[in-house]
Structure 1
Amino acid sequence: MRIIVGVTGASGVEMSYYLVKALKNIEGCQVHLILTEGAKKTWKLESDIPLIDLVLLADVVHEDENLAAVISSGSYVTEGMIVMPCSMKTLAGITAGYAENLLVRAADVCLKEGRKVVLVPREMPLGKVHLRNMKEAAELGCVIIPPVLTFYNGPKNIEEQINHIVGKILMQFGITHEKFVPWTGAEE
């Protein structure tokens, strides 16, 4: 199983560390990582985790400028792609098919090949353009999973909130995340 993980410069880059860590716990899962320049800058501003820790988790790290990378071709089979976090710029690029970098090109390839593309958009409040682009992305086949807070699972810290979001993302690929706490119903 090969999954592409794209990380943009939107706030919340550290979530991608938890995502890749969870993917690496899946036997036989190969992670292809793309970090935009914006992601690298935001990582320095937001995270105490050294960026190298994320990079070392990935099986393959692709330069965002390398449009000749193996994942830029539909003949290289993957399960799909996760963009976490997804900036509004990247969202716009995906919906317009404007593949100016490898991250958007890889998403374009996944969509044209009928593969899963999960976008984790980070912005608030959402403007009309953002909402229009999310709707367009959904119509193109993307799954939109905003990283919203969840309370029914009794989270005690941010890490548990992130792991819940990661669990929701992995469900899209038929993968169960061991740190995901699902809703179990309530007595009336």
Structure 2
Amino acid sequence: MSNSNHPYAKKEKAISLAWTGASGAPYGLKLLQCLLTADYQVFLMVSSAARVVLATEEGLQLSANSEKACQQLLAHFKMDKNAAGELVVLGKDEWFSPPASGSAAPKQMVVCPCSTGTLAAIATGMSNNLLERAADVVIKERGQLILVPRETPFSAIHLEHMLSLTRNGATIMPAAPGFYHYPKSIEDLVNFMVSRILDHLGIEHGLTNRWGYANDKSEKIDN
């Protein structure tokens, strides 16, 4: 860890995370908690629509003030700010923050949940706000960008944007949890998706049982 007092001091493990206005706030919250627990410096970008979804789905009225939002989230997770990774909440116009430049941005970024509007903006390189610019930077720097869209059905427009982004190196991971781990709760379904994201990020976890392991209910299929 850096000893610098600079607010954006470079950390050994850093990642950008964005929440947008698609349904799926529980996915974003759980992912953030896991990243902080894994001692990551997380640059979090939250759209105004995401705050509406967060309030609707989780009952969490997240402040538009970055510092207050940071305090709220740490309190939500019951985390001491000195006991886990570092959370940096960024506003949409913070152009001098690390995610805005290829010389400083983390090499990994996840947009979870990802609205189709954000999908379109990233696919076309709009960069109208920090969130979109951060994704654009990761693509141009050949980093790892994971997008978790939550929409159904997908139109041809959505699919074309996903194909374009996939061809440019992004990973499209729709919020489509499996059921082979026999989920008993919404938390189990959320953990399934978050575990797959963490797998792709290369982060160890114990959120779910893996296919073929510790699956007591598996049955032989007679041919």
**Larger Cα-atom Rg:** 2
* 2:125 aligns with one of 85, 90, 97: 97
Q: Deviations over 1:75-128 (max 9, x none)?
A: 114131000000111100111010001111000001111110000001101111
Task: State TM-score, norm by structure 2.
Answer: 0.78
Residue 40 in structure 1 maps to residue 68 in structure 2 = no
Q: Does 1:183 align with 2:211?
A: yes
Shift of 1:49: 4.1
Q: Per-residue displacement from partner, 1:13-54 (whole Å, max 9, x unpaired)? A: 221110001111213x11110001111122122222453543
CA shift for structure 1 position 163: 0.8
Q: What aligned pairs does 1:2-81 form with structure 2 within 5 A after superposition?
A: 2-27=14-39, 29-49=40-60, 51=62, 52=69, 53-54=72-73, 59-81=87-109
- Could you tell me how far apart the structure 1 residues matched to 2:160 and 2:114 are? 15
| Percent identity (aligned) | 35
- Distance in 1 between the 2:181 and 2:157 partners? 32
**Matched position secondary structure for 1:172:** helix
Distance 1:146 1:117 in 2: 13
For residue 55 of structure 1, report the CA deviation from its aligned partner: 6.1
Task: Give the letter for the 1:44 counterpart.
Answer: A
Match for 1:126: what amino acid?
F
Report the Cα distance in structure 2 between the residues aligned to 1:181 and 1:89, rounded to whole angstroms: 34
The answer to whether structure 1 residue 135 and structure 2 residue 163 are counterparts is yes
1:26 to 1:157, Cα distance in 2 relative to 1, 3 A: same
1 CA distance for matches of 2:182 and 2:130?
38
State the number of aligned residues.
Answer: 187
Letter in 1 for 2:54: W
Runs of 4+ in structure 1 displaced over 4 angstroms?
55-58, 185-188
Secondary structure of the corresponding residue to residue 32 of structure 1? strand
Q: Distance in 2 between matches of 1:63 and 1:55?
A: 17
Matched, 1:148 2:148: no
Check conservation: 2:26, 2:190, Cα contact below 8 A: no
Unmatched 5+ residue regions in structure 1? Answer: none
CA change 1:55–1:25 in 2 (3 A) is: closer
Q: Pairwise CA RMSD of aligned residues?
A: 1.7
TM-score by length of 1: 0.92
Q: Distance in 2 between matches of 1:134 and 1:64?
A: 23
Structure 2 contact 98–106 (Cα < 8 Å) conserved: no
